[in-house]
Amino acid sequence: MSSTTIDPGSAYSTAEDILRNLSLVRDEISVAAAKIDEQQVARLAAYLGETGRSSGRVFAAGAGRSGLVLRMAAMRLMHLGLSVHVAGDTTTPAITSGDLLLVASGSGTTSGVVKSAETAAKAGARIAAFTTNPSSPLAGLADALVIIPAAQKTDHGTSVSSQYAGSLFEQALFVVTEAIFQSLWDKDPQPAEELWLRHANLE
C-alpha cells in the first residue's frame, strides 16, 4: 500500500481561512441585525410579556435549525418564569385561547410550521412569527411579525449572504431572540440567581 503526503495547506483550512470566515459570519450577522425593525421586535416582545402576565402559555414551533433556535429561546423564557412548551414534545398540551404560538420559518412556507399556525389561529391563540418573507402564508397568519433580512435556504447564489442555505436567517434569529429575552429581563426584578433555580437539574 502506497502512502501519500497530505499538504495541510491544501487539504485543511488554514488560520487565515478561519479568520476570513469568522469575519464573514460576524459581519453578515451585524448587517442583518442592524436592518431588523426594532418596532416589530418590541411588539413581539410585548405579546410575550402580556401572555406571561395573563398566565397564558407560550408554545414554540419550528423545523430544522430554526426549530433548534426556538428551543433555545423557549428555555430562556422558561427561566423568566413563563409557562413554555415546544410543539412535538410528548407532554405538550393543546394550545387554546389566551396562549401564544412562537414560530419561525425563513421562507414562511414550511408546511408543518404553517399548519401549526393555522391550528393555533383556529384555537383562538395569538401567533408571533419570524420569517424573511412578508408575503408568505406564515406572515399572513401572524399577529406579531418580525422580518429578518436574510436569504432563504433555497436562495443559492444570492447577494444577501455568502453563507450556505439559511445560515444567516438562523444566526440572526438566535441574536434577536436573545435580545428579546434580555429586554424582557430588563423589566423583570428577578436576579440571575432566581432565574437559575428554574434551570434543569435532570440532565
For the question of residue 193 being annotated catalytic, the response is no
Burial zone of 71 (CB within 10 Å; 0-12 exposed, 13-18 middle, 19+ buried):
middle
Of 28, 118, 170, 203, which one is the catalytic site residue? 170
Query: Do 95 and 121 contact (CB within 8 A), yes or no?
Result: no
Exposure class string for 8-27: b at 16+ Cβ within 10 A, else e = eeeeeeeeeeeeeeeeebee
Query: Do 52 and 81 contact (CB within 8 A), yes or no?
Result: yes
Task: Give the catalytic positions in this structure.
Answer: 170
